[in-house]
Amino acid sequence: MSKQETQPAASTPWCYSSEEARTVLDSLSAHIAIMDNNGVILDTNRAWRDFAVKSGMAEDYDSIGENYLAICDAADGEDDADARTVATGIRKVIDGRVDEFIHDYPCHSADSPHWYYMRAIRMSGEGPLRVVVSHEEITALKLSEEALRKSEAQLTQQKIELEESNIALKVLLKQREGDKSELEQKVIANVKEMVLPYLEKLKRVNLKPKDKTVVDIIDSHLRDIISPMMQKLANASIILTPQEIQVASLVKDGKASKEIADILNVSETTVHFHRKNLRRKFGLSNSQTNLRSYLISIS
């Protein structure tokens, strides 16, 4: 290949196969330059030339005849690293070490940020080696990516804050449950120690039928109030007599009334009495509900 072919004069543009090809090239938004195997620019499209003029070059500036690789090698300042990366990539394409080289880089102006996507690839077909270099602005994409990264970071932070709030809420709920349980214990203990003994005394007094009815209603309502608190046998034991607790434990273990009577050295009638009281205190008004099954379920 002659020197004249590899470095044509600036006034001799590289020829296209048709006017349509030139029209298509000039219609593309990407800034495109075609260079030879030495990196000399042979031709550029309208977008390339318009960008050069916009960057401060003369109105008729077209870059033809300049060595693109030399320009990249000589770059200085904050963009020199990207320029050298581009030069290295284009040389790899020229040497055939890679089929294509791509690189995105910033090219910010004084008024706003800009990013570009650069691509270098060999032209197919017969004839001397030609490399097509294109630069496409991807500022909108980069800004979208940055916005997405910020959104992801915000979501991650919000997730962390929600998890921390969740932990704090769980601690508060646990504390609330503890306070609730403590309050229930106090209510049941107070009812047992300060109210029920007096009700039992009233029941033993020879009351008029009307007064006895009132006492029974009070007793019934008190037990209705505290019955939701008796979810566990430990709580229920507060208002059970010691012998009722023994009977309940043996019933839960599957002992029959006769066996319980022998173990506790009481009559079987007494065991039936305690079983009846247990059913009443646990609110088992339905005769089909098995006392042992219930005791197992709350233990």
Q: Which parts of 42-195 fold into alpha helices (H)?
A: 46-54, 68-73, 80-95, 139-190
Report how far residue 212's alpha carbon sits from residue 198's, in angstroms, rounded to the nearest whole number. Answer: 13
Write down the domain spans for the chain.
Answer: 3-137
Report how far residue 100's alpha carbon sits from residue 120's, in angstroms, rounded to the nearest whole number. Answer: 6
User: How many other CB atoms are found less than 10 A from the CB of residue 81?
Assistant: 11
Residue 233 confidence (pLDDT): 47
The model carries a pTM of 0.47
Residue 257 confidence (pLDDT): 92
pLDDT tens series, the chain, 299 aa: 334 444 444 444 555 557 888 888 888 989 999 999 999 999 999 999 998 888 888 988 989 999 999 999 998 877 788 889 999 999 999 999 999 999 988 877 777 788 889 999 998 878 899 999 999 988 888 888 888 999 999 999 999 999 999 999 988 888 888 787 777 777 777 777 778 778 778 878 888 888 888 888 887 777 767 665 554 544 555 567 778 888 888 888 888 999 999 888 899 999 999 999 888 888 787 777 888 888 887 76
CA nearest 8: which of 57, 37, 35, 42?
Answer: 42
Report how far residue 15's alpha carbon sits from residue 263's, in angstroms, rounded to the nearest whole number. Answer: 115
Q: Is 102 helix (H, G, I), strand (E, B) or coil?
A: strand
The residues pairing with 116 across neighbouring beta strands, listed in sequence order, are 105, 137
Report how far residue 254's alpha carbon sits from residue 293's, in angstroms, rounded to the nearest whole number. Answer: 10
Residue 227 confidence (pLDDT): 62
Q: Give 125's DSSP letter.
A: S
Report how far residue 131's alpha carbon sits from residue 119's, in angstroms, rounded to the nearest whole number. Answer: 10
Question: Most distant CA pair in the chain: distance in Å?
Answer: 134
Q: Which helix (H) or strand (E) holds 128?
A: none
- Domain 3-137 in this protein, CATH class: alpha beta
265 token code pair:
């050295």
Residue pair 101/119 in contact (Cβ under 8 Å)? The answer is yes
